[in-house]
Amino acid sequence: MVERNVDVAELVARARAGEARAVGRLISLVESDSPVLRTVAAALVPHVGRAQVVGLTGPPGVGKSTSTSALVAALRAQHLRVGVLAVDPSSPFSGGALLGDRVRMQEHATDSGVFIRSMASRGHLGGLSAAVPQALRVLDAAGCDAVIIETVGVGQAEFEIASLADTTVLLLAPGLGDGIQAAKAGILEIADVLVVNKADRDGADQLARDLRHMQSLGGHSVEENAVAAAWRVPIRKTIATTGEGVAEVVAAISDHYAWLQGSAELATRRQRRAAVEIEAIALGHVRARLARVHDSAALAAAAADVVAGRTDPYSAADTILQAG
Amino acid sequence: MVERNVDVAELVARARAGEARAVGRLISLVESDSPVLRTVAAALVPHVGRAQVVGLTGPPGVGKSTSTSALVAALRAQHLRVGVLAVDPSSPFSGGALLGDRVRMQEHATDSGVFIRSMASRGHLGGLSAAVPQALRVLDAAGCDAVIIETVGVGQAEFEIASLADTTVLLLAPGLGDGIQAAKAGILEIADVLVVNKADRDGADQLARDLRHMQSLGGHSVEENAVAAAWRVPIRKTIATTGEGVAEVVAAISDHYAWLQGSAELATRRQRRAAVEIEAIALGHVRARLARVHDSAALAAAAADVVAGRTDPYSAADTILQAG
């Protein structure tokens, strides 16, 4: 239910003042197909670009939502405003200000410095929902210092999340057999910070050693950069349930952001992110246009011309595209 | 290897005079991505619309290529010019005037009244190759009275073939367990003529009875039509290896064409076919354009504008699409 006569400028002002309801309304608007979406996108322009976007990914069972909650707590301890987008590839549902089933998240539910939003990940085209980058922009404009996008690491989703993030944190844990798997899938290469969670469990040290060994073999730990010193991907150990080691992860994330800002890499990543986003929107427009063509009188007329031998299908397609 | 300076008008004239080499060249041209493709399409316009397009489909092992060869022989006995497009979903290869591995087809290889062409079925978009309808138009323009499109009945291909055909012949055979399966897949509903091949085998009569029973249950046998009498889908039995029953199938195909011509259905089907073809071409154009956008300077500039806070992604997408 999206009203047409919404005062977008007022909503943006209220969101920037920290009003969670306004933030939620704006995200709902960018998730909708309403024309208001464009008004919102335009209204956000002067206010975006400040937030550090942190992608948090890793295999199921690694402790992602617990880690997200611990990260939020650590960031809040620094009086930073934090946004969380929990992207769930398995859920077709979206919306809601709170993740009811995430008990650990509830401790932040009443904190006015935290905005939490659950989103269905899949757009109708199968890729990451086009609304995710827009929701990011809303949280950015709302004055968040950091926005965490959390996703279940299944298939393509973690790569898509990484493409949206300034900093990608990959969570692993002992006993999941994911260390080697992750390396195989190329996922290690997109990580800016590696975290071994459940560090109190057997195998945690071994997993950290394995990761370090893989780094030394594959050269994954070093990103060459012409301008700045290379970034060495740090490996941190945490017990997210107790908060142990989380401050060090926050520090690593912060270090990475400082490195990004001091190098050309931040501009490169954001440029790439914007290009991906623009392309996705353009593709969506074109698909919508072709869908309209499908039942159009223009197509019927062009087909009739082809059948009657007045034109060929290629010229007819040109006519259709020009008319659309 | 497609020459640029090909004399399309002369090729079309030679094809219409029955020169197999010219027909083959034209099909190669429409299979290519060369700009000559459009010249060929335009040159065919005055000469198309005469051929009856017969789609022949059915499960593997049903005797399709034998049946096609028998149909060709029966049509040739009536001194009709016949084209055959053998579409093979499993083959990425295309071209050639003869199907070397199809012994039965070789009997027609030296017959100047028969054009036989093998085509890879899959276009790069996954659907039926866009070249198939163009090759149909070449054979039509070359003066074929009938063009048979034969495909292995796997998945979507048979429905796509049916969408191109005036008359769809579905081949079944006893012992393949396909009668019921076909009905389940909805394939019976696209058949205009049903053929039980291998009629000398056990179970052929039972299969024919089952099909008749399914028709009576499902009402598949009758296509309601406001203008003309309804078409009752005939069931014919053949032994393609000996030619037994094939004349009756040819008669049924001919009856169906007469029915199509006497009703609004021929115009409806050809209109639908042309619309599908135009849409596919338009979609191809748009995809090519978006692929060009992907690496364009315009996209890079638009992304830079978004990053710098000069515009929003939606406005940037508009700019890209207008520039493209």
A125 in B contact zone (CB under 8 Å)? no
> For chain B, first and last CA: distance in Å?
30
Q: What is the mean pLDDT of residues A245-273?
A: 94
Instruction: Give the range among A21-25, A246-250, B160-164 with minimum mean pLDDT.
Output: B160-164
Contacts of B304 in chain A (CB under 8 A): 271, 274
Rounded CA-CA distance A73/A198 in Å is 18
Q: What is the pLDDT of residue A280?
A: 82
Site of tokens 């990940």: A121
Please state whether beta strands A222-223 and A231-232 pair in parallel, antiparallel, or not at all (unpaired): antiparallel
Is 0.85 exceeded by the ipTM?
no
With cut-offs at 50, 70 and 90, classify the pLDDT of residue A213.
confident
Interchain pair A313, B41: CB under 8 A: yes
What is the least distance, in Å, from the CA of B96 to any CA of chain A? Answer: 25
Rounded CA-CA distance A234/A194 in Å is 6
**Contact (Cβ atoms closer than 8 angstroms) between residue B179 and residue B207:** yes
Q: What is the pLDDT of residue A279?
A: 85
Q: Residues 290 to 319 of A: which have CB under 8 A from any B CB?
A: 290, 293-294, 299-300, 302-304, 306-307, 309-318
A247 in B contact zone (CB under 8 Å)? no
* pLDDT tens digits in sequence order for chain B, 324 residues long: 445 568 999 999 999 998 989 999 999 898 887 788 899 999 999 999 999 999 998 887 888 889 999 999 999 999 999 999 988 655 444 444 334 334 445 666 667 789 988 887 655 444 567 788 999 999 999 999 999 998 765 556 667 778 889 999 999 999 876 555 655 567 778 899 999 999 999 999 999 998 888 877 765 444 444 444 789 999 999 999 999 999 999 999 999 999 999 998 999 999 988 998 898 888 888 877 777 877 788 899 999 999 999 999 999 998 888 875
Rounded CA-CA distance A167/B306 in Å is 19
Q: What is the pLDDT of residue B160?
A: 76
Helices A20-31 + A8-16 axis angle, to 10: 130
Rounded CA-CA distance B24/B312 in Å is 52
In chain A, pLDDT over 70 holds for what percent of residues? 79
Using CB atoms within 10 Å of the CB of residue B98, give its burial: 0 to 12 exposed, 13 to 18 middle, 19+ buried.
Answer: middle
B275 in A contact zone (CB under 8 Å)? yes
pLDDT tens digits for A67-117?
999 999 999 999 999 999 988 655 444 444 334 334 445 666 667 789 988
